[in-house]
Amino acid sequence: MRKFSRGHCPEVLSVDQAVWTERWLARRAEDFGAKFSWPQRDGMALNQHLLPGLKAQTGDHCSYCDGYPVSPPGTETIDHFRPKISHPAEAFLWSNLYFACNHCQTRREQYDEQLLRPDSVDFEFDRYFRWDFTTGEILVNQRADVADQARAEITIQLFRLNTGHPGLRRRESTRRAAMQAEPLDDFAYRGFVGA
């Protein structure tokens, strides 16, 4: 989970946001089990208009697990941080929408007010978590205060950050990223040169 800055609400959402929210609330009032669907705009589902902006904010990484690339093997989805079923008034709220892989999306309606938002002003990865570079797991930062540890634990659990995620892929991405940061003179490149 990397920190990112949220961009401005795109016009395609802001123009009819109130209307779409009102319609969704009315559908939910009539039928509590109503299935959510993205409205159409210019012949295309709204989520297809929103995906490019949401992806750009995270550099095409999943907002939660930092998985890259999301597709394939995953599917590019838009997650409602506060679930649209239990928080229907926020279904079309820009600050509630996150680019996510289908693995992180499987939390569905599970929600806790303590869940961490990677675009929160006070979010810093090291405040809540630490990496285990040998396993690719995200762990709770044991040096954090008790409240921050609880928030990290809930986030790891609900987004299943260490369950079913490609830990080897995460570890490999970390290794490659570290290689790019090393000056060539300090890098053990001889292993890559044929003897």
What stretch of H or E contains 67? none
190 in any annotated domain: no
pLDDT value, residue 136: 79
4 in any annotated domain: no
Highest mean pLDDT among 14-18, 69-73, 186-190: 14-18
Average pLDDT over every residue of 179-188: 50
pLDDT value, residue 45: 94
Average pLDDT over every residue of 5-20: 94
Residue pair 88/102 in contact by the 8 Å Cβ criterion: no
DSSP character string of 82-137? S-TTT-GGGTT-GGGEEEE-HHHHTTTT---TT---TTSTT--HHHHEEEETTTTE
Range of the domain at 94: 11-181
pLDDT value, residue 187: 42
Residue 165: pLDDT band with limits 50, 70, 90: low
d(CA 101, CA 71): 8
pLDDT value, residue 110: 84
| Whether this model's pTM surpasses 0.85 | no
pLDDT value, residue 81: 95
pLDDT value, residue 181: 54
Least confident segment among 11-20, 23-32, 155-164, 175-184: 175-184
Q: How many domains does the chain have?
A: 1
76 in any annotated domain: yes
137 in any annotated domain: yes
144 in any annotated domain: yes
Tens of pLDDT, residues 49-99: 999 999 999 999 999 988 888 876 667 899 999 999 889 999 999 999 999
171 in any annotated domain: yes
Residue pair 148/164 in contact by the 8 Å Cβ criterion: no
Q: Which residues contact 70 (CB under 8 A, 6 or more apart)?
A: 60, 61, 62, 76, 99, 100, 101
5 in any annotated domain: no
42 in any annotated domain: yes
pLDDT value, residue 22: 96
Residue pair 118/1 in contact by the 8 Å Cβ criterion: yes
Tens of pLDDT, residues 131-160: 888 877 899 999 999 999 999 999 999 988
SS3 label, residue 41: strand
